[in-house]
């Protein structure tokens, strides 16, 4: 690429930036969905002081979570929290009793005796890795109880674990669970055009330096 061409490209890129090409686009959507709604979801798997329920998910690019949710019937409030896992099929590395100290985010939200999808706002940025979203009581202000529904239609993301906070303070893998509906939504980051502009401009600058060095070398050779 000659220097006049490089200059024209740089001008075009600068013009694109001035026209607003430096916005930060993102894709909104579902990060985790363990099951789609079934025709007749039935409350069956309890969440209370004796048991919490969690679902695993893995992300391969940074995301910004905005909501967590679950299909159930309940009373009063329960909590939802996002925790790091030891691997794609792993468990939290800290006991349930310490969840408030190591959870990446957590919140309590009201639930009622009506079977429905309950969704709670929860904002947290996650880097690529393995995570779990956990629902329970006696942490983050949750003080009620609930029954998650079965009879939903599992997706390939269906992977569950549970906690026994009052019976050993341990986490357990739960391959016996398959049709619970738990979901996480948010936005996945995409490359920003502004970044492309900076990278392209840097490349053009590098090319200009190389061309100048070649011209100087050629002049020096001719003078010998």
- The answer to whether residue 112 sits within a structural domain is yes
Does residue 6 have a pLDDT over 50?
A: no
Which pLDDT band holds residue 214 (cuts at 50, 70, 90)? low
- The answer to whether residue 66 sits within a structural domain is yes
Q: Please give the pLDDT value at position 189.
A: 72
Which range marks the domain in which residue 147 is found?
33-189
pLDDT digits (tens, 9 = 90+) for 44-85: 999 999 999 999 999 999 999 999 999 999 999 999 999 999
- The answer to whether residue 219 sits within a structural domain is no
- The answer to whether residue 6 sits within a structural domain is no
3-state secondary structure the chain: CCHHHHHHHHHHHHHHHHCCCCCCCEEEEEEEECEECCCCCEEEEEECCCCEEEEEEEECCCEEEEEEEEEEEEECEEEEEEEECCCCCCCCCCCHHHHHHHCCEEEEEECCCCCEEEEEEEEEEECCEEEEEEEECCCCCCCCEEEEEECCEECCCCCEEEEECCCCCEEEECCCCCCCCEEEEEEEECCCHHHHHHHHHHHHHHHHHHHHHHHHHHHHHHHC
- The answer to whether residue 158 sits within a structural domain is yes
| CATH number of the domain where residue 122 is located | 2.60.120
| Number of independent structural domains in the chain | 1
Mean pLDDT of 82-109: 98
pLDDT digits (tens, 9 = 90+) for 158-183: 999 999 999 999 999 999 999 999 99
- The answer to whether residue 17 sits within a structural domain is no
Does residue 35 have a pLDDT over 60?
A: yes
Does residue 207 have a pLDDT over 60?
A: no
- The answer to whether residue 74 sits within a structural domain is yes
- The answer to whether residue 164 sits within a structural domain is yes
């Amino acid at each position: 690429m000659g220097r006049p061409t490089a200059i024209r490209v740089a001008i075009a890129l600068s013009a694109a930036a001035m026209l607003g090409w430096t916005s930060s686009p993102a894709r909104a959507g579902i990060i985790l969905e363990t099951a789609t709604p079934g025709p007749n979801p039935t409350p069956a798997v309890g969440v209370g002081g004796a048991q919490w329920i969690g679902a695993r998910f893995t992300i391969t690019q940074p995301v910004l979570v905005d909501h967590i949710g679950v299909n159930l019937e309940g009373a009063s409030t329960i909590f939802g929290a996002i925790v790091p896992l030891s691997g794609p099929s792993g468990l939290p590395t800290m006991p349930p009793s310490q969840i408030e100290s190591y959870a990446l985010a957590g919140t309590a939200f009201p639930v009622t005796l009506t079977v429905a999808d309950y969704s709670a706002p929860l904002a947290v940025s996650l880097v690529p890795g393995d995570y779990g979203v956990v629902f329970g009581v006696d942490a983050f202000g949750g003080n009620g109880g609930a029954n998650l529904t079965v009879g939903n239609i599992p997706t390939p993301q269906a992977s569950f674990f549970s906690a026994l906070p009052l019976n050993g303070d341990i986490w357990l893998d739960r391959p016996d669970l398959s049709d619970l509906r738990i979901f996480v939504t948010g936005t996945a980051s995409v490359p920003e055009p502004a970044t492309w502009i900076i990278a392209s401009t840097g490349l053009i600058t590098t090319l200009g330096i190389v061309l100048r060095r070649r011209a100087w070398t050629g002049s020096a050779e001719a003078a010998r």
